[in-house]
C-alpha cells in the first residue's frame, strides 16, 4: 500500500545517494490467488488510529515464526505490540482473526534495503495450529540455487499499479516471476545510473526476479518469492525493493534467503 512507500522513503533519504534511491517494492500484472494456494502468506498489520491496517506481507516458516522484510518493521519503535498478524486470508480484512507478537528480531546488519540484510523474524505469542489452509513454507538449504527455468511466484495484497490500491474485496494476488541471474540484473540496474559498473548494486545477499509489468508493488514487501523445486515450494526470497511496480524493465529485488538460512535456523530453533 502507498503508506509503506511514504513511511520508508524519508528514512532512506539521508543515508543513500539520490541516484540510488529506488522505490520500495511493492503485485502488478497478476491474477487472483486460488483458495488453498500460498498457505504460508500472512498480512502484517499495523495500528492506524485504532484500525489494524495491512502494511506488508510475510511468510509462515515455523508454527511460531514469520519471515518478513526489515524495512516493514523499522519505521516504528519495533514494539511487538505495534503489530498484529493475520494468517492466510482470501480477501483481506474478511473475518479477521489477528494474532499478537511476542518478539521481533531484525537482522543486526540491516541499515537500509540497498545494503541488503532486509529481513526480520517475528515470533507469535502462541504457535499456530497448521491445517489445510494454514501451512509453513520450507526454507531452502544454503547450497540451493534458483535459476530462470524454475517456476517462481510472488503473492500479496499490495497495489496493482503504482499508487493504485487493490480494489475491494482485496483478493490475494499472485504473479509468476522468472528469476534473473545476478550479473544481468546488476547490469540492468547500472543503466541510467551514475553508480560505476565496478560498484555492485545487486549484492550477494539479494536475488532478482520479475520482468516489466510483472512485479510486486507497495504493500507486497516482506512477502515470499516461492519457487517449486522437485515438486515442493521453497522460499527463495523476501520482497525487498525495485522500481515503480513493474513499469520499468528491471526485475524486482529480493532478499536472498539462502544467504541467511543459518541465521534464521539459529533463532527459530
Ligand X SMILES: *[C@@H]1O[C@H](CO)[C@@H](O)[C@H](O)[C@H]1NC(C)=O
Residues acting as catalytic residues:
71, 118, 221
Quote the least distance from Cβ 157 to ligand X, whole Å: 18
Beta-strand pair 51-62/232-241: unpaired
Distance of alpha carbon 64 from alpha carbon 61, whole angstroms: 8
Contact status, residue 118 vs residue 70, Cβ threshold 8 Å: yes
Q: How far is residue 244's CA from residue 212's CA, in Å, rounded to a whole number?
A: 10
Report the candidate in 113, 213, 200 with the shortest Cα–Cα distance to residue 162.
Answer: 213
Q: Return d(Cα 101, Cα 141) in angstroms, integer.
A: 27
CB of 89 to ligand X, least distance (A): 9
Rank residues 127 and 213 by Cβ distance to ligand X and give the closer one.
Answer: 127
Of 39 and 252, CB closest to ligand X: 39
Of 52-111, which residues contact ligand X (CB under 6 A)? 87, 97
* One of 129, 168, 266, 269 touching ligand X (CB under 6 A): 129
Single residue of 49, 81, 131, 230 touching ligand X by CB under 6 A: 131
Please, what is the minimum distance in Å from the beta carbon of residue 63 to ligand X? Answer: 10
Q: Provide the 10 A C-beta neighbour count for residue 90.
A: 17
What's the CA dihedral at 159, 161, 165, 168 to 10 degrees? -90
Nearer to ligand X by C-beta: 123 or 190? Answer: 123
Choose the binding region for ligand X from 21-29, 106-114, 126-134, 197-205 (rule: CB under 6 A): 126-134
Closest approach of ligand X to the CB of residue 221, in Å:
24
Question: Which residues contact ligand X (rule: CB under 6 A)?
Answer: 87, 97, 128-129, 131-134
Amino acid at each position: 500500500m502507498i503508506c509503506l512507500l511514504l513511511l520508508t522513503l524519508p528514512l532512506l533519504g539521508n543515508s543513500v545517494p539520490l541516484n540510488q534511491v529506488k522505490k520500495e517494492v511493492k503485485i502488478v500484472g497478476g491474477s487472483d490467488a486460488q483458495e488453498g494456494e500460498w498457505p504460508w502468506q500472512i498480512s502484517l498489520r499495523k495500528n492506524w488510529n485504532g484500525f489494524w491496517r495491512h502494511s506488508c506481507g510475510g511468510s509462515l516458516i515455523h508454527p511460531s515464526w514469520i519471515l518478513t522484510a526489515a524495512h516493514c518493521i523499522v519505521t516504528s519503535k519495533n514494539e511487538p505490540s505495534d503489530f498484529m498478524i493475520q494468517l492466510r486470508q482470501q480477501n483481506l480484512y474478511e473475518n479477521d482473526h489477528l494474532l499478537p507478537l511476542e518478539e521481533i528480531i531484525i537482522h543486526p546488519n540491516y541499515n537500509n534495503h540497498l545494503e541488503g540484510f532486509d529481513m526480520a523474524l517475528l515470533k507469535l505469542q502462541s504457535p499456530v495450529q497448521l491445517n489445510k489452509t494454514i501451512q509453513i513454507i520450507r526454507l531452502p538449504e544454503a547450497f540451493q540455487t534458483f535459476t530462470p527455468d524454475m517456476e517462481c511466484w510472488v503473492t500479496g495484497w499490495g497495489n496493482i499499479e503504482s499508487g493504485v490500491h487493490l480494489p475491494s474485496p482485496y483478493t490475494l494476488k499472485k504473479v509468476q516471476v522468472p528469476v534473473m541471474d545476478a550479473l544481468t540484473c546488476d547490469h540492468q540496474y547500472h543503466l541510467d545510473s551514475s553508480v560505476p559498473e565496478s560498484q555492485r548494486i545487486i549484492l550477494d545477499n539479494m536475488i532478482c526476479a520479475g520482468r516489466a509489468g510483472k512485479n510486486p508493488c507497495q504493500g507486497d514487501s516482506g512477502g515470499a518469492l516461492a519457487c517449486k523445486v522437485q515438486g515442493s515450494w521453497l522460499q527463495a526470497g523476501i520482497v525487498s525493493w525495485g522500481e515503480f511496480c513493474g513499469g520499468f524493465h528491471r526485475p524486482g529485488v529480493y532478499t536472498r534467503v539462502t544467504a541467511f538460512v543459518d541465521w534464521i535456523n539459529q533463532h527459530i530453533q
